[in-house]
Amino acid sequence: MFRIDRRYFYNFDWILLFMLIGICGMALMNLYSASYPPSPWGIPPYIKQCYLFLLGISGVLFILFFDYKELHFWNYPFYIFIVLLLLFVLFAGNSAGGAQRWVNLGLFKLQPSELAKLSLVVTLASYYSRKEKAEGYGIRDMVTPVLLTLLPFLLILKQPDLGTALMLGIIFVSMTLFAKVRWQTLGLGAVLGSGAGVFAWFYLLKDYQKRRIETLLNPAKDPMGQGYQILQSKIAVGSGGVSGKGYLEGTQGHLHFLPERHTDFAFAVWGEEWGFVGSVLFLGLYFCMLLWGLYVAMSARDRFGVFLSFGVVMLIFWQAVINLLMILGFLPVVGIPLPLVSYGGSSLLTTLLGLGILMNVRMRRFQVGQNVEKMKQ
């Protein structure tokens, strides 16, 4: 299983690694500021995040030793393991804030629903790469991927964790459209999706989840309740102006007006302290990393590598977009973190493992061409 070849080092994706280190460095700076002044008890969040970053980098190095094509074999065992973890969480997981989502591992609390996102990416990539349909996927072809998405979706929704459950649906839609579906299938999916949305509003969503959506339309209606987070976040970002208030000089975060400032609203702290210019520079580097991920997908030499890379990019992209729109008040607060930036061990590890898969695909892009040359000889 371990294959050492000097060409792997020559083809290593240094560009992605440097962008990753740059983003994580800025994220740790921001996390230090978001948790400043440090609490006199317990380990500060930025210290924990450093430990988890090192753990994640170790996971990336481990992934690089394996050929990503072996995930064809391991994707279903991994999928089953994640489903079992989700079932375990429902019956014996740790609870907080009215939700039961975590498994206590000592150093940090593992959230299996985060790993479920990456598991779904690998599973759908394996399915679509194995079963290629030049004319597009029909209704019967979609039964398997729909069921593979629906099972973890329902288990995560039960926790309850609406934001993460919706992310599974978004990943499914993104990868399915990329795979190409027939117009009849797309139309039926749109009708069923609309019906499911109406059903969810009346029968599945809890009252507080409905209030979050209603608050989006008029956050000033309940400024001390459901609208408080959105209003304070917009104040923090807006008060940063062009150049920001300066590092460690933000008032909304340090005076505790901004809730969840080191998790879901971490970027609001950055916007307040570094302003418009700093935000553009940070987001420029962030989305350059995602564009490079798309380049990795397009330069992959096999169908599985293409879908795998594309799925990882979509996993990070949509979480980033939803989190940023949530901070700016364009989407309701659904608890989706900004990958690599928000504090959270499970999110950080999942994102790093996904980027490790991207590096793996890029590092082995020469293999298919090499095999073709051997066959010609």
Residue 369 pLDDT:
46
Of 322, 281, 316, the closest CA to residue 296 belongs to 316
Q: Residue 123: exposed, middle, or buried by beta-carbon count in 10 A (0-12, 13-18, 19+)?
A: buried
DSSP secondary structure string for all residues of 286-298: HHHHHHHHHHHHH
Residue 16 pLDDT:
94
Res. 18: pLDDT tops 60: yes
Tell me how far apart the alpha carbons of residues 127 and 371 are, in angstroms, rounded to a whole number: 23
Q: Which tokens go with 97?
A: 């804030």
The SS3 assignment for 100 reads strand
Residue 373 pLDDT:
38
* Dihedral of alpha carbons 94, 95, 100, 106, sign: negative
* Contact between residue 354 and residue 118 where contact means Cβ atoms under 8 Å apart: yes
Give a yes or no: residue 1 inside a domain.
Answer: no
Compute the radius of gyration of the chain from its Cα atoms: 21
Residue 7 pLDDT:
67
Mean of the per-residue pLDDT values for the chain?
85
Average pLDDT rounded to a whole number, residues 134-163: 90
Residue 194 pLDDT:
83
Give a yes or no: residue 375 inside a domain.
Answer: no
- 139 phi/psi in degrees, rounded to 5: -65, -45
Identify the band that residue 221 occupies on the pLDDT scale cut at 50, 70 and 90.
Answer: low
Q: Which tokens go with 338?
A: 């900004």
Residue 218 pLDDT:
60
Residue 1 pLDDT:
47
pLDDT tens digits along 222-274: 555 556 777 888 888 888 899 899 998 888 877 777 777 888 889 999 999 99
* Contact between residue 347 and residue 114 where contact means Cβ atoms under 8 Å apart: yes
Largest CA distance in the chain: 74
Residue 371 pLDDT:
43
From residue 84, give the alpha-carbon distance in Å to each of 89, 105, 112. 9, 16, 10
pLDDT tens digits along 284-308: 999 999 999 999 999 998 999 999 9
Q: Which tokens go with 275?
A: 């302003």
Q: Which residue has the higher pLDDT, 20 or 344?
A: 20
Give a yes or no: residue 373 inside a domain.
Answer: no
Percent of the chain with pLDDT over 70: 88
Res. 24: pLDDT tops 60: yes
pLDDT tens digits along 117-134: 999 999 999 999 998 887
| Domain extent for 153 | 6-366
Give a yes or no: residue 166 inside a domain.
Answer: yes
Q: Which residue has the higher pLDDT, 200 or 20?
A: 20
* Dihedral of alpha carbons 82, 85, 90, 95, sign: negative
pLDDT tens digits along 351-376: 999 999 999 999 887 765 444 333 33
Identify the band that residue 201 occupies on the pLDDT scale cut at 50, 70 and 90.
Answer: confident
What residues does 104 pair with on adjacent strands? Answer: 109
- 250 phi/psi in degrees, rounded to 5: -70, 140
Give a yes or no: residue 377 inside a domain.
Answer: no
Tell me how far apart the alpha carbons of residues 197 and 209 are, in angstroms, rounded to a whole number: 13
Percent of the chain with pLDDT over 90: 49
Which helix (H) or strand (E) is 333 found in, with range? none
Identify the band that residue 137 occupies on the pLDDT scale cut at 50, 70 and 90.
Answer: confident
Residue listed under structure tokens 């109406």: 198
Of 12, 50, 108, 66, the closest CA to residue 346 belongs to 108
Lowest-confidence region among 14-18, 170-174, 248-252, 292-296: 248-252
Of 166, 142, 139, 131, the closest CA to residue 152 belongs to 166
What residues does 137 pair with on adjacent strands? Answer: 181
Give a yes or no: residue 328 inside a domain.
Answer: yes
Lowest-confidence region among 95-104, 130-139, 174-183: 95-104
* Dihedral of alpha carbons 343, 347, 353, 359, sign: negative
Residue 139 pLDDT:
87
Identify the band that residue 58 occupies on the pLDDT scale cut at 50, 70 and 90.
Answer: very high
Res. 161: pLDDT tops 50: yes
Tell me how far apart the alpha carbons of residues 257 and 267 are, in angstroms, rounded to a whole number: 15
Q: Which tokens go with 332?
A: 């309701």
Average pLDDT rounded to a whole number, residues 101-124: 89
> What single DSSP character describes residue 3?
-
Res. 46: pLDDT tops 70: yes
The domain tally of the chain equals 1
DSSP secondary structure string for all residues of 212-259: HHHHHH-GGGSTTTTTHHHHHHHHHHHHTTTT-S-TT--HHHHTT-ST
β pairing state of 109-110 and 94-96: unpaired
Which helix (H) or strand (E) is 102 found in, with range? strand 99-104
Residue 287 pLDDT:
95
